[in-house]
Each structure stands twice: as structure tokens, then as C-alpha cells.
Amino acid sequence: MLAKGPQNIAKMLPDDWGGGYPNVWLGATVESQKEADRLAHLPAVPAVAHFLSMEPLLGPVDLSAHIDRLEWVITGGENGAHYRPVDPDGFRMLRDQCAAADVPFLFKQWEGRNQREIKAKGRALDGVVHDG
């Protein structure tokens, strides 16, 4: 389950949620530090795993207050005619935070106007494909 507002997850779960279902991970969408500052709500809800979908990443995000309670971080750039470019240092910062905390890191894509443009950029970040 992926929610834009992690503060709303608990009230949307079924009554029999208990410690979570064995086949359901809970995730939150984070595009910037503003959303990351609400992440305390995500690991407060019991689940098999907690993850972040950080796409489109729009700027640097410090996850140090939450990274030790996450099982996966997915990130990528924005796509579409009016995409917003992101500084690669934002991806690097997340990659390094995940590596230090031993959290799998998946870099899905760079930003671009369309899939052809995005695919032409490849999936490597500093020469490495991150498929965590």
C-alpha cells in the first residue's frame, strides 16, 4: 500500500490489521523534505515492511531520522512535458544514506519529457545501476 500522506494510513486500515498482513508492505510518497518530515507516522503503523517511493524526487532529502526504520527506498526523476529537473546530488544523498543504513536502494530512472528520452539517459547513477 502506498500513501501520499503517511499520517492517514492508520485510519484507512481494516479493523483486523493488528500487526499487519504478511503480504502487505506500507509505503509513503516523498518528493521533498516537506513530505519526509511527516515520516514518523509511517513506521508507527505495524507492517512487515515500510518503504518510500521517492519519485519524482524534487530536491535533497535527509532521511537520517527515519532510515533505520525503512526496508526499501525507491527513487527516480519526473517525466512529462513539464518535468522538473533534479540535481543528481539528491539521488546521491539518498544512495549514500541507504548504503550507510544497509537499506536497499532502487534508482528507477532519470527525468525527461518522455520514455524515449528517459531510456536514452540509462539507469546508472555515477556509472552504477542500483536495483536494490
Question: Tens of pLDDT along 28-83?
Answer: 999 999 999 989 999 999 999 999 999 999 999 999 999 999 999 999 999 999 99
Measured CA to CA, the distance from residue 58 to residue 43 in angstroms comes to: 23
pLDDT of residue 83: 95
State whether residue 108 is helix, strand or coil.
Answer: coil
* Cβ atoms of 36 and 61 closer than 8 Å: yes
Residues 6+ apart with CB under 8 A from 71: 25, 49, 50, 51, 103, 104
Q: Which helix (H) or strand (E) holds 107?
A: strand 105-107
**What is the model's pTM?**
0.93
Confidence of residue 13 (pLDDT cuts 50, 70, 90): very high
| Residue 86 binned pLDDT confidence (cut-offs 50, 70, 90) | confident
pLDDT in tens, 91-103: 999 999 999 999 9
Q: Could you tell me which of 59, 60, 91, 92 has the C-alpha nearest to residue 76?
A: 91
DSSP three-state, residue 53 = strand
pLDDT digits (tens, 9 = 90+) for 22-37: 999 999 999 999 999 9
